[in-house]
């Protein structure tokens, strides 16, 4: 069977094993915590797949131009909401005002947020001349395990990330803390499951949290994911050993 662009997005079992081995080695370093920074994951994916790490705020983080493929990379703890992006919606003030008055206004603002996300992905397909964009995801679980998986986000034939009509929107109830009152967030609920998928902080820094991303996680034992255990404390490399492995600083005597 010929390889299609969408299936080419997925790493082979051997490539996933290289990713897992490299991450395990990274987590053994004396300065590493239990989580892997996104920049490390981007560099590793770029190395394994032969792609270029963009290091920008584009929708995609790694591009393989020869295959017309790109990936968005995320790495967080399992209970940390994914920040999808900063969604600066055009004409936001007018849309926000209308959203406080009617369901029609809330629908208009919600559609604008979803359309903004879709347009951002479409722009990357066009700007980088890609045929498909994948999702490279590292999840640090609370049981000291890490799960890595990949999925297709969109293709040139199917460019929509999210369908606007699939969501119902409403403003959150204001919360008061000891020091100040927190700003309301605009929540998007998946109409079919009634679960919250989005939280847009448009009254503040425009962050769009994608809480529904956990719906994309593979089920336990899925062949589409790679799971491994975080190195035990006994496997951590000491600072002394780390220095021995990489040698002394030749300029240290001058300091």
What is the reported pLDDT for 180?
63
Q: What is the mean pLDDT of residues 237-252?
A: 80
Residue holding tokens 């979803």?
A: 114
Residues 6+ apart with CB under 8 A from 57: none
Instruction: Give the CA dihedral 140, 16, 231, 35, nearest 10 degrees.
Output: -30
- CATH number, span 5-244: 3.40.600
In angstroms, the CA 141 to CA 105 distance is 38
Please give the DSSP secondary-structure letter assigned to residue 56: S
pLDDT tens digit string along 196-214? 999 999 999 999 999 999 9
Question: Per-residue pLDDT tens for 51-98?
Answer: 999 998 889 999 999 999 999 999 999 999 899 999 999 999 999 999
Task: Classify residue 61 by its DSSP letter.
Answer: S
CA–CA separation, 235 and 128 (whole Å): 42
Q: pLDDT by residue (tens digit) across 2-61?
A: 456 778 999 999 999 999 999 999 999 999 998 999 999 999 999 999 999 999 888 999
Rounded-to-10 torsion of CA 152, 157, 161, 164: -150
Query: How do the residues of the chain divide into helix, strand and coil, expressed in percent and rounded to 5?
Result: 35, 25, 40
């Amino acid at each position: 069977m010929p390889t299609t662009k969408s299936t080419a997005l997925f790493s082979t079992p051997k490539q996933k094993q290289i990713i897992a081995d490299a991450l395990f080695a990274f987590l053994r370093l004396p300065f590493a915590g239990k989580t892997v920074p996104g920049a490390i994951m981007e560099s590793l994916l770029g190395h394994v797949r032969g792609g270029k790490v963009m290091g920008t705020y584009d929708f995609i983080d790694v591009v393989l131009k020869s295959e017309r493929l790109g990936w968005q990379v995320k790495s967080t703890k399992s209970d940390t909401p994914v920040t999808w992006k900063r969604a600066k919606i055009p004409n936001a003030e007018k849309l926000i005002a209308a959203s406080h008055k009617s369901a029609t206004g809330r629908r208009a603002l919600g559609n604008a947020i979803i359309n903004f996300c879709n347009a951002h992905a479409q722009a990357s397909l066009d700007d980088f001349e890609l045929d498909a964009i994948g999702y490279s995801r590292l999840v640090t679980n609370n049981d000291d395990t890490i799960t890595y998986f990949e999925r297709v986000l969109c293709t040139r034939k199917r460019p929509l990330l999210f369908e606007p009509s699939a969501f119902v929107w409403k403003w959150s109830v204001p919360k008061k803390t000891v020091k100040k009152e927190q700003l309301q967030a605009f929540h998007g609920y998946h109409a079919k499951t009634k679960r919250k998928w989005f939280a847009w902080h448009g009254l503040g820094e425009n962050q769009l949290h994608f809480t529904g991303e956990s719906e994309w996680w593979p089920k336990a034992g899925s062949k589409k994911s790679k799971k491994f255990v975080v190195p035990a404390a006994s496997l951590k490399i000491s600072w002394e050993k780390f220095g021995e492995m990489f040698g002394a600083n030749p300029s240290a005597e001058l300091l």
